[in-house]
A = this chain, B = another copy of it.
Amino acid sequence: MSNLLHVPPTADYPTPPISSAVRAGDLVFVSGTPGFNPDGTLEAIFAGQFARAVEELARVMIAAGGSIRDIVKVNVLLTRETDVPEMNRLYSHAFGPTPFPARTTSVVAALPHPQMLLELEATAVIQLTGTRG
């Protein structure tokens, strides 16, 4: 596994047994990313958690050697159906302009922390000069 790059989770608060991302060649697999504040708390409002999740996703992509613009696929996991329109509005700004990544949005029964309103999971392809198609 010498060619893999594991991006460790932030050390600011306790995290589960995961890497925030694993890069293998030009592919990056990013864990479901919740919107925790740096002190490990979660804001009550959706827009606050969404903004923090996008910041964390950007941090992880940079640590993996790329940027948020290299993301080709996003899975948006929500806990409330009513957040879909606001999510789409915020998402357009965070992941635009067009062309956007492929994406799947689902509303799950729960996420690991009871106050978690969303997670953003991503797959990215970092373009390397001369190695791929």
Interface set of A (CB-CB < 8 Å, partner B): 1-4, 6, 8, 16-22, 24-27, 29-32, 69-70, 72-73, 75, 77, 79, 81, 84, 88, 91-92, 95-96, 98-112, 114, 119, 121, 123, 125, 127-128, 131-133
Query: Known interface pairs A1-B70, A107-B109. Does A100 touch B19 (Cβ–Cβ under 8 Å)?
Result: yes
In the complex, which of the residues B4, B69, B77 contacts A1, with contact meaning CB atoms closer than 8 Å? B69
A29 near B73 (CB under 8 angstroms)?
yes
A72 → chain B, closest Cβ, in Å? 4
Closest to A114 in B: B81
Partner of A21, one of B30, B31, B102, B128: B102
Is there an interface contact between A101 and B22, defined as CB atoms closer than 8 Å? yes
> Given A4-B72, A21-B102, 11 more contacts at CB 8 Å?
A16-B103, A17-B96, A17-B100, A18-B102, A18-B103, A22-B73, A24-B125, A26-B133, A29-B73, A31-B73, A107-B110
Q: Classify the interface of chain A: helix, strand, loop or mixed.
A: mixed
A102→B121 CA distance, assembly (Å): 10
A119 to chain B: which residues have CB within 8 Å?
104, 106
Is there an interface contact between B27 and A101, defined as CB atoms closer than 8 Å? no
Complex contacts, A101 vs chain B, CB 8 Å: 18-19, 22, 29
